[in-house]
Chains A and B, each alone.
Chain A
Amino acid sequence: MTTIAPEEAAQEAAFDATVAADERIEPRDWMPEAYRSTLVRQIAQHAHSEIIGMQPEANWITRAPSLRRKAILMAKVQDEAGHGLYLYSAAETLGASRDELLDKLHTGRQKYSSIFNYPTLTWADVGAIGWLVDGAAITNQVPLCRCSYGPYARAMVRVCKEESFHQRQGYELLLTLSRGTDAQHAMAQDAVDRWWWPSLMMFGPPDDESSHSAQSMAWKIKRHSNDELRQRFVDICVPQAEALGLTLPDPDLVWNEDRGHYDFGSIDWTEFREVLKGNGPCNEQRINRRRRAHEEGAWVREAAAAHAAKHGKAGR
């Protein structure tokens, strides 16, 4: 026992020094158990969000109103599957298996971003998701490219690089609608009205209520506070909305000269908590569909594994 404690203290000191020096922690380094579990939880939630996030947009692939838009949307939804894969891979470097993480998603023991529990009711929602939801996601994700855990940071570099087209296609889609017929313009405005507030909720609860923030900031898993990022996002969106010719549904949205930022109205955190708890419009639908795809695919996965075993090709 006497030999373990000093060794652990030395390992912890080395870990702290690595983080302090802004170097990356790599999979086989010693790390505090809480750091590992925080990362697994966060990366898994992120991966789950990517694959659940495919659903609201896939909802429109078969109805996309032009072949150009259809190709763009298919490529985007495919990217989300790819991003899910990158992120599950990152989580697996921490000793969690993808099967186990998927199981936790399917049984409600791990979460995904609440935003995907809202429905895509019209084609304009595809644009609003690209502009606002992906925009908020990018605001959240860019700092993660410098996260202290190497595999997560590297996955995020790849994700961010690929996502740059996601936001632009959404903006362009909305712009086309906004400048189109009256009906198209109204469709775009309606979508922005419905997605604005949920997008602001994507940054998480206010800083004074955020339970994981302080430790994550110290570990450099997180680089900016929820409220900081939310403000940054609002400031970016206001002029973009003007250029679109659309309004944001907040009467309190006004430039504050002293702060050098836009002030905005208060967020309905009751709604946020309710959706998080499972009472959003699509929580059940999303999880059921995911679970069904997984269950209906089991025979396929088994077949391929059986084939590999029969022919001595399994990689183990």
Chain B
Amino acid sequence: MTTTPRPAETTASGAPAEAADARPTDWPLWEVFVRSRRGLSHTHAGSLHAPDAEMALRNARDLYTRRSEGVSLWVVPSAQITASSPDEKDAFFEPAGDKPYRHPTFYEIPEGVHHL
């Protein structure tokens, strides 16, 4: 392998390199969603880095479907995801918990009645 002329920026021991944010080599993060087979929805599988969407898709194919785990892939820039509130168990979801009448098990049906 040929060697590159690039000097080792971080090899000096103890040189603080943590502040190296947004270096050009720092590819953005993408979230990967895999449809494991027809009829199922895409499910979040994990994330990866890629310079752009096309490469993200290819990297996702190589990484997340190398054992035939999928028939379709989505990749989304992680930064583009809008999430619900930071605390995932708060008022945003609790109100749904006291509406049991939305679930079929709420209702009593006499024995012997079918197809309901």
Contacts and interface: CB of A to CB of B under 8 A. Distances in A.
Are chains A and B native binding partners rather than an unrelated pairing? Answer: yes
B83 interface: yes
A20 interface: no
Contacts of A86: 46
A155 B11 CA distance: 30
B28 A28 contact: no
A308 B17 CA distance: 25
Interface residues of B, number: 45
A82 B20 CA distance: 25
Contacts of B30: 315
A308 B14 contact: no
Contacts of A85: 46, 48, 63
A238 to B, nearest CB: 32
Interface string B13-42: 111011011011111111000000000000
Interface size class of chain A, counting residues whose CB lies under 8 Å from the partner chain: 35 or more
Contacts of B66: 78, 82
B56 interface: yes
Given A296-B3, A315-B56, A82 B63 contact: yes
A304 B46 contact: no
Interface string A142-180: 000000000000110010001000000000000000000
Nearest to B22: A316
B105 interface: no
Interface string B46-78: 111111111110000001001100000000011
A26 interface: yes
A306 B1 contact: no
A29 B49 CA distance: 24
11 contacts: A28-B87, A29-B88, A30-B86, A82-B63, A103-B10, A103-B18, A107-B17, A295-B6, A308-B51, A308-B52, A315-B77
Interface of A: 11, 14, 18, 26, 28-30, 78, 82, 85-86, 89, 92, 97-100, 103, 106-108, 154-155, 158, 162, 291, 295-296, 298-299, 301-302, 304-308, 311, 313-316
The 9 closest A-B pairs by CB, nearest first: A315-B77, A304-B51, A313-B52, A301-B25, A308-B52, A315-B28, A308-B51, A89-B47, A28-B86
